[in-house]
Amino acid sequence: MIACCSILALEKLGAVFNQQSTPLQYTPRKFVVTPDSSSIVVIETDHNTYTEETKQQRRQQMAEEMVGHHR
């Protein structure tokens, strides 16, 4: 699923404003303004996202727990 992040800056209602939309790969979690360039950085992440190594370790752990319960 690709989300889209839109940031609007309105100084006066009814005034012309600029809008820029950027597609996001993950859920936006935090916005940070960089002091040097005044750019906005979007920090994205997904809930319960694991590396392949962590997923494999978790699968192994769950398999061992299942075998232990059937004894």
Write down the pLDDT at residue 33: 87
Residue of 40, 62, 59, 37 lying closest to 50 (CA atoms): 59
Q: What is the pTM of this model?
A: 0.41
The more confidently predicted of residues 4 and 54 is: 54
Going 57 to 59 to 65 to 67, the CA torsion angle's sign is: negative
**pLDDT digits over 21-37, tens only?**
788 888 888 888 888 88
